Amino acid sequence: MDEEVQRVVAEIEEEQALNKISGVQVFRSLLNQPNLVSLHSSDADFEGSSTGFSSLNFSLPRPILQPSSIELTHSVLPQCVQNIPDTAVTFWYYRLSSYKSNVPNASNLYFIRLLPSYYKPEFISSDVFGFNKTFNSYTDLAIELQKSCTTDLAFVNLKEQDIDEDSNQYKLQYLPNDISLLYNESINKFQMNGNNANVEMAFKVWVNTRTYTLNQVVSFGTQTYISLQDDNTNNDPREIDSLFWKQNYVDIVEEFDGTTPYRKNQYVSFGDELYIARQNTIGQPTPDINATDWDDSFTPSNFYKYLITGFRDPIVAQVQSNGRVLWNKDNLFEFEDTVEYKGNFYKALKQNKSFEPFLVLTVPGSWDTTIQYEKDDLVFFGTSFKASKRNINSAPSTFSDDWIEIMWEQSSQIDTPVIGLNSISTEFDMMDEFLGISQYPFPNGILGQPFVKNPKRLLNSILGFTWNGIMLPESLENIDSIITTAVSKDNAQTELFNRIRPIQQYYKRYTTVSLDGLQQTIPKTLFTAEGYANLVYTNIISVFASIVSGSSLNTTTNTGLLGVCSMNTGNLGISFFQQGTVAPLTIHNADIYSILLYFQDEVGDPYFFTNNANLSFTLKVDYKNILQDK
């Protein structure tokens, strides 16, 4: 053996002396420069969870030396997934309220969801909840959606925990039976119906001696109920399976209070009557004898309007995650409501709307007519005020444009309800009972409702509701007022108004003022999807590789794209990719010892395979020309 080694070494030295291609290079080309490389997922180091993966790392049996280019020529990808990504199984909509706010904000944004496909039914004690799964038809999907519209898992479990006051620490944005998501077979499209559009607010408190008529709404404690028949007397609304009452979920209009500031168009109840403020007002006399400030002559209708969100709505991105209730200027907050604002936490001293919270750590100095106050300066004038802008000799008052009266006191984070769907579902979707005591969450470690931080698709768009969600929310502030609501003939505001259900009255403005005409309210509560439901999880899978670097350009991740594979089969099938064109990707001065592949769907979200999926990839590799280099 020693003699053989010496002979080979001597031959190599002789070739090198003659400036020939060395034997080392020849052997390297045979062993370390394969033209075809086959990768199988069963040989990879998994880069994922215990059940699935969206990337694979391959440690090669021997390195690939001096490659010049690489090309994906073939792949086999099992498509063992449900029709809808678990990150896109939540349907979002606004229920605009004449009482709380007609401006879309986080407090009037609600959801309907399918439970993620990885939730195991044996952990959930009922089959009444809608699940994400492989759907064979629109009808199959509609059945699950109807379950989701009727009830929600976290909603039910939170009600079980009322004794622990968890429902005060969490504000789940779900309303049972508030909307219906329907499949219309005749047009092959989905539709949304706003079920409470024509239901009145609860401005009457239930009294056992009073007689209620069909569809009258009352409050009992913190809950509201709607009468199911006429001549309804002395029937407790809380009775289970009552023939006289059904629980509904509408606003409870607070009783008039002489110390509460009311802004124009705010509602109050007084003596079982509903009043609306004609102007900003505070103090006595009571609405029944104060026709200057209060009106009860209107005909109540359409207290609620529905607006389906779009996938680019920034408020959806906020509420789907793990945040807390945030203050916003457009929402009405009740006494002792708690909010987060600019990193601080506040509790409402009284019902208020559009009064910005601010901290008063010490009693500020008294207001002085001679001092010029800068924005955010604090003064005391019967109570504390903060300057909303620079001013001088402008006496602080409740509705002043120059001052903000204090309506909030400092609170704590723990007292501010969590509003984020992911946080609440993680805590309350899983429940078990031990010796009659509810345990949350159990089993532990099961991820709650998944989401994408900046979603590019929602269940809305998957069902065919394709609006992008771009709007000016403030343009809906006066939608109840036909006098101040005017729009041009064709613009984004008109489109937004036409998305409201029911469509409210508004002026249609032509080029000639004399042609202005008042359009009548359209009472329809049904909204038909613009497009058809898309029950294809993804059309393509983009395969990215650590070895490609800047040799390809992709609009989602910029670099690293190895190839795009068409998903050319139905769910539970296998997709085959065969390269149709020659497109080698240059590799710059790098030997390859390992290859990391990762996968994305058509919108750039990670695409997950289950661990029983067998993937294969074939790569064609070219090399630097050794003779030419010499």
Q: Per residue in 387-417, pLDDT tens? A: 999 999 999 999 999 999 999 999 999 899 9
Mean pLDDT over all residues of the chain?
87
For residue 162, pLDDT over 60 is answered with no
Residue 278: pLDDT band with limits 50, 70, 90: very high
The confidence band for 545, taking pLDDT boundaries of 50, 70 and 90, is very high
Question: Is the confidence at residue 362, as pLDDT, over 70?
Answer: yes
pLDDT exceeds 60 at position 118: yes
Q: What is the model's pLDDT at position 628?
A: 47
- Name the pLDDT band for 508 (thresholds 50, 70, 90): low
The yes-or-no verdict on residue 458 having pLDDT over 70 is: yes
Reported pTM: 0.89
pLDDT winner (highest mean) among 26-30, 487-491, 559-563:
559-563
Q: Give the CA angle between residues 34, 36, 41 to the nearest 5°.
A: 115
**Mean pLDDT across 493-505:** 86
Separation of CA 203 from chain center: 31
| Tokens found for residue 111 | 């959801």
The stretch 322-328 carries a mean pLDDT of 93
Which residues does residue 290 pair with via DSSP β-bridges, in sequence order? none
pLDDT at 576: 61
Q: Taking the CB of residue 418, how many other CB atoms lie within 10 A of it?
A: 18
Q: Is the peptide bond before 443 cis (omega within 30 degrees of 0)?
A: yes
In the predicted model, what is the mean pLDDT of residues 560-582?
72
- Average of pLDDT values for 91-103? 96
Q: Would strands 223-227 and 217-220 be described as parallel, antiparallel, or unpaired?
A: antiparallel
pLDDT band at 440 (very low <50, low <70, confident <90, very high): confident
pLDDT of 347: 97
Q: How many CB atoms lie within 10 A of CB 454?
A: 10
Residues of the chain with CATH 2.60.120.1100: 24-81+537-629
Domain ranges in the chain with CATH number 2.10.10: 327-415
Rg (CA), the chain: 33
Query: What is the model's pLDDT at position 558?
Result: 72
pLDDT number for residue 291: 95
Angle at 421 between CA 416 and CA 422, to 5 degrees: 105
User: Of 511 and 104, which is predicted with more confidence?
Assistant: 104
Cβ atoms 594, 63 nearer than 8 A: no
> Any idea which residue has 């110390």 for tokens?
259
Q: Where are the alpha helices (DSSP H) in 89-244?
A: 138-150, 153-160, 166-169
184-to-121, 461, 535 alpha-carbon distances in Å:
29, 17, 16
Pick the closest to residue 541 from 568, 572, 507 (CA basis). Answer: 568
User: What is the spatial distance between Cα 309 and Cα 315, in angstroms, rounded to a whole number?
Assistant: 9
Identify the pLDDT of residue 475: 87
Give the side-chain half-sphere CA count within 13 A for 211: 2
Pick the CATH number of 24-81+537-629 from 3.30.930.10, 2.60.120.1100, 1.20.1600.10, 3.40.120.10: 2.60.120.1100
Confidence of residue 581 (pLDDT cuts 50, 70, 90): low
Nearest CA to 461 out of 617, 310, 247, 289 is that of 310
Which of 141-155, 215-229, 398-412, 556-570 is predicted with the least confidence, judged by mean pLDDT?
556-570
Q: Are 547 and 586 in contact (CB under 8 A)?
A: no
Backbone angles phi, psi at 466, to 5 degrees: -100, 5
More confident residue, 169 or 549: 169
User: pLDDT value at position 566?
Assistant: 85
Structure tokens at 16: 């090198």
Angle at 155 between CA 154 and CA 160, to 5 degrees: 90
Lowest mean pLDDT of 19-33, 118-132, 304-318, 467-481, name the range: 19-33
For residue 417, what pLDDT is reported?
94
- The reported pLDDT for the residue numbered 479 is 82
d(CA 271, CA 24): 100
Q: Which residues pair with 507 in a beta bridge?
A: 486, 518
* φ, ψ for residue 284, nearest 5 deg: -80, 170
pLDDT at residue 194 in the model:
96
CB of 282 closer than 8 Å to CB of 66: no
Cα of 349 vs its chain's centroid, Å: 31
Please state the length of the chain: 630
pLDDT confidence of residue 515: 42
Q: Which of 220, 251, 253, 255 is nearest to 235 (CA)?
A: 220
Bridging pattern class, strands 507-509 and 486-488: parallel
CA dist 45 → 59, 91, 258 (Å): 8, 37, 70
| E strands, 504-626, in order | 507-509, 517-518, 526-528, 540-545, 561-566, 573-578, 585-586, 592-600, 609-610, 616-623
Least trusted range by pLDDT, from 43-52, 336-345, 372-381, 514-523: 514-523
What per-residue confidence (pLDDT) applies to 516?
47
Least confident range of 164-168, 209-213, 270-274? 164-168
What is residue 630's predicted lDDT score, i.e. its pLDDT? 45
pLDDT at residue 514 above 50?
A: no
Mean pLDDT of 353-358: 97
Q: Which pLDDT band holds residue 298 (cuts at 50, 70, 90)?
A: confident
SS (H, E, C) 432-467: EEECCEEECCCCCCCCCCCCCCCCCCCHHHHCCCCC
Give the pLDDT score at 167.
63
Q: Identify the residue whose tokens are 């006399």.
A: 285
**Predicted pLDDT of residue 63:** 93
Report the interhelical angle of 421-428 vs 153-160 (nearest 10°). 60
Nearest to 250 by CA among 176, 145, 168, 308: 176
Comparing 1 with 62, which gets the higher pLDDT? 62
Q: What is the pLDDT of residues 28-71, one digit of tens each?
A: 556 788 999 999 999 998 766 778 899 999 999 999 999 999 99
Of residues 625 and 283, more confidence is placed in 283
Which CATH number is correct for 327-415, 3.30.70, 1.10.8, 2.10.10, 2.60.120? 2.10.10
Compute CA distances 415 → 64, 167, 337, whole Å: 60, 11, 9
Q: Is the model's pLDDT at 261 over the cut of 50?
A: yes
The terminus-to-terminus CA distance of the chain in angstroms comes to 32
Distance, CA of 460 to CA of 144 (rounded, Å): 15
